[in-house]
Chain A
Amino acid sequence: MAAPTMESTGSSTTPTQTVTIAKGLNMALRNAMERDPKVLVMGEDVGKLGGVFRITDGLQKDFGEHRVLDTPLAESGIIGTAIGLAMRGFRPVCEIQFDGFIFPGFDQIVSQLSKMHYRSQGKVKVPVVIRVPFGGGIGAVEHHSESPESLFAHVAGLKVVSCSNPVDAYWMLQQAIDCDDPVLFFEPKRRYWEKGQLDPEAEHLPLVSSAVLRTGSDVTVATYGPMVKTCMDAATAAEEDGNDIEVIDLRSLSPLDLGPVAESVRRTGRLVVVSESPPESSVTSEVATRVQQECFYSLEAPVLRVNGFDTPYPPSKLEEGYLPDLDRVLDAVDRSLAY
């Protein structure tokens, strides 16, 4: 697969600014709504409250109650009506309050959203975006810290993406809204307040592409979402031991852009795949399988994975043990190098 080329941007004149991921998402929604009157924001508490994470802050005030809908408390209803609205030409962006609350809407996503274009052979488009704050590390109670992205990556007909920094938050969300396919948009909630430099004029990657964030020659680490920062920190720490780690942000989980990963593994000969989710039948399984298929003769070590565990998400006092941390990533790097 060829390396994705940069897309150049429109002619916004806003200068570079320091923004959080949360702010990048908020700006993206605002831009999309300004550009296209058919873009709607809908979900529980997205209006006056601005969402429980304030991602939709101020939007209802500026765009009104028919563009930013505080919906009844029912996820099947949110997603199901978004599908109908999309069939009518709207581009709804649904907010699911927390990862663990998407399941009442799972049926609509799997049975309708993912299949509509296929079964109508392209006659019906459903450009629905479903935003899901996901992952752990915030000390929350049950159902507030899950990583269900693999369940959606498994469903044909959906695009599944995850941002890890403010620039991607800003661009990927707008691209997801512009995309004619349904997109599950996973936001790393524990990183919402991390800052970065955003230059709206700078070039940016297409939605479906992985990105090499740090080059290195010894081991490739592929990851996404909240684990990107952990892996970048691990790479910095690995330097002390004289290990040169390449870090790849997968960004798009389905479809996967394996190109940069395969290319990297051909150079380093080693791959560690990292995610918070339970490992069995997951995005990390997929990456590992495809890399061993495509890079078999380049591999110096088996592809290793660092994940959560195949248990329900534990009580929050245990989540730091459950979630991959810098040490567990480094441990896997060491094991890979030991082969």
Chain B
Amino acid sequence: MSPEHWTRPSRPDERDRIADTAVPAATSATPTREQVIAGLRATSEGGADLVQLLTPEGQRVSHPDFDIDITDEQLRGMYRDMVLVRRADREGNALQRQGQLGIWVPLLGQEAAQIGAGRALLPQDMAFPSYREHGVAWCRGIDPTELLGIFRGTDHGSWDPNETGMGLYTIVIGNQCVNATGYAMGQKFEGKVGNSGDDATANEATMVFFGDGATSQGDVHEGMVWASVYDAPVVFFCQNNQWAISEPTERQSRIPLYERAKGYGFPGIRVDGNDVLASLAVSRWAMNEARQGNGPLLIEAFTYRMDAHTTSDDATRYRMGDELEAWKLKDPIERLRVHLLREQIADQEFLDGVETEADELAARFRQFCVDMSDPPPERIFSAAYAEESPVVAAQREDYLDYLSGFADSGHDTEGSVR
């Protein structure tokens, strides 16, 4: 199983492998308790095909196809990335609890998957996120404070997708997968794949992020069909965090998700999503394949959502505490920290420095949030259309008139309409 082997996956031996996978017999409409438990055990261990470069104990291990060329400085950088992103995330949770945010979508536990993938992107690449991709946003140069408006309710995303190479957060599950494929088709149609030469920006690709639950959606399936038919330079990055709100992955699929790629005719690979090195290595390889013109790929980052689905969710209703405890032992940050110390790539002073930086980020994040002002009422109407709609224009005029009526009559405008 080498990456080369996957570039055209329709060989007979590849097809035979599907027969070997442990698919539960399709007898009952719902999997039996035993099947579910067996499935959970298989999934919590990731299975034999899992690409891992750093064990949960922080040991470097080698993989025949994905050895990675990485400097000590880059390693320290990824540690810093993960710590800072986690700190912003925890602060987001706290701000919601304090009533400063309407909701927060935690990324706790998924830092390695996102930083590994995010750091594999080049500036000219495009990322299409779902709504939990705070780590990817970080890698695209989007300051965490820019996420706040979405969750505080002042905007639907404040960054410019064209400038940052990062689409806006997408809440409707799976929608972005077809958009990403279309974008990638555009990259290809414009001749931005498969070019040789020294120009590092000659080739581009797209990465699209979605969850394990999303894989049930038609849009994700359709995105994959299109991607394969047009050989689009798109990497499907599925973060299998084991749950779609209360529903375990078994509720979405009977086979490991990465194996679905075979059905579309492109490679699928499962990576340890709590291992930032493996996530980076596999994502780099996949993006290179796509930039080279070898078509789409599916990466399943096998990880775990260590917090509730959102701050509105009560995970104790559906998930056992033991499971969380087991996954805490695989914490993505801890394993890199241990590795850095053991290999003397970083010392305590470095770790303390990152901690201080995290404290500063948290304070800045919090202050920014508390200081955010509410948008003015005319924002309701702005940019509903690219070419102004006379209907909307008239509604805006009427509404602003109506508000100013309150001001005239001595009413407190804010109080009356809010």
A interface list, Cβ under 8 A from B = 44-45, 47-50, 52, 65-66, 70-74, 76-77, 100-101, 103-104, 139-144, 280, 309-312, 314-322, 325, 327-328, 331
When C-beta atoms are compared, the residue in chain A nearest to B131 turns out to be A141
Indicate if the CB atoms of B245 and A52 lie closer than 8 Å.
yes
Indicate if the CB atoms of B218 and A48 lie closer than 8 Å.
no
When C-beta atoms are compared, the residue in chain B nearest to A316 turns out to be B153
Residues on B with C-beta less than 8 A from A318 are 153, 374-375, 377, 379-380
Indicate if the CB atoms of B153 and A320 lie closer than 8 Å.
no
Residues on A with C-beta less than 8 A from B150 are 141-142, 315
Residues on A with C-beta less than 8 A from B395 are 309-311
Residues on A with C-beta less than 8 A from B389 are 310
Q: How far is the CA of A314 from the CA of B374 in the complex (A)?
A: 12
B interface list, Cβ under 8 A from A = 29-30, 102-103, 131, 149-156, 171-174, 213-214, 216-219, 244-247, 251-252, 312-314, 317-318, 374-375, 377, 379-381, 384, 389, 391-392, 395, 399, 402, 406, 416-418
Interface centre among A144, A310, A318, A322 (most CB of B within 10 A): A318
Residues on A with C-beta less than 8 A from B244 are 44, 73
Pick from A73, A76, A315, A320: contact of B247, CB under 8 Å? A73
**Which label, helix, strand, loop or mixed, suits the secondary structure of the A interface?**
loop
Indicate if the CB atoms of B102 and A139 lie closer than 8 Å.
yes
CB distance from A88 to the nearest CB of B (A): 13
5 pairs from A and B in contact (CB 8 Å cutoff): A49-B314, A49-B318, A52-B245, A104-B218, A315-B153
Indicate if the CB atoms of A315 and B156 lie closer than 8 Å.
yes
Q: How far is the CA of A162 from the CA of B402 in the complex (A)?
A: 30
Residues on A with C-beta less than 8 A from B151 are 141
Q: How far is the CA of A71 from the CA of B213 in the complex (A)?
A: 10
Q: How far is the CA of A310 from the CA of B392 in the complex (A)?
A: 6
Indicate if the CB atoms of A317 and B154 lie closer than 8 Å.
yes
CB distance from A55 to the nearest CB of B (A): 14
Residues on A with C-beta less than 8 A from B247 are 44-45, 70, 72-73
| A141-B29 contact, Cβ under 8 Å, with A72-B216, A74-B216, A101-B172 | no
Q: How far is the CA of A321 from the CA of B398 in the complex (A)?
A: 13
Pick from B103, B246, B417: contact of A49, CB under 8 Å? B246
| A316-B102 contact, Cβ under 8 Å, with A72-B251, A309-B399, A310-B391 | yes
Indicate if the CB atoms of A314 and B379 lie closer than 8 Å.
yes
Pick from A139, A144, A321: contact of B377, CB under 8 Å? A321
CB distance from B133 to the nearest CB of A (A): 14
When C-beta atoms are compared, the residue in chain A nearest to B212 turns out to be A73
